């Protein structure tokens, strides 16, 4: 059995959002909108369901982990 379109679309959107959270300084709302979410609340809920953290916490963790000034 294959993956449904909605699940596939969500997965693609969230992977792109994860990349943007790591590489851009865009707001969470800008990231959500850029990957196709109309409502930032839906984006945050789906992101947390998938990654176990809200997008803001995820960004904080990955930027601290890759920032050489953090030691």
Q: What is the pLDDT of residue 12?
A: 97
Q: Which of the four pLDDT bands, split at 50, 70 and 90, describes residue 63? A: confident
Q: Considering the domain boundaries, does residue 21 fall inside one?
A: yes
Return the CATH number at 53. Answer: 1.10.10.60
Q: Considering the domain boundaries, does residue 35 fall inside one?
A: yes
Q: What is the pLDDT of residue 2?
A: 79
pLDDT in tens, 31-48: 999 999 999 999 999 999
Q: How many domains does the chain have?
A: 1
Quote the percentage of the chain above a pLDDT of 70: 92
Angle of CA points 48, 51, 55, to nearest 5° = 55
Q: What is the pLDDT of residue 52?
A: 97
Which structural domain range is residue 37 located in?
Answer: 5-66
Q: Considering the domain boundaries, does residue 14 fall inside one?
A: yes
Q: Considering the domain boundaries, does residue 71 fall inside one?
A: no
Q: Which of 3, 35, 5, 2 is nearest to 55 (CA)?
A: 35
Longest dimension (CA), the chain: 47
Q: Considering the domain boundaries, does residue 20 fall inside one?
A: yes
């Amino acid at each position: 059995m294959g993956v449904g379109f909605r699940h596939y679309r969500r997965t693609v959107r969230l992977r792109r959002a994860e990349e943007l959270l790591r590489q851009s300084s865009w707001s969470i709302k800008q990231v959500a909108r850029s990957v196709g979410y109309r409502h930032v609340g839906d984006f945050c809920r789906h992101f947390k369901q998938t990654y176990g953290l809200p997008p803001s916490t995820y960004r904080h963790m990955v930027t601290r982990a890759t920032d050489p000034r953090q030691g």
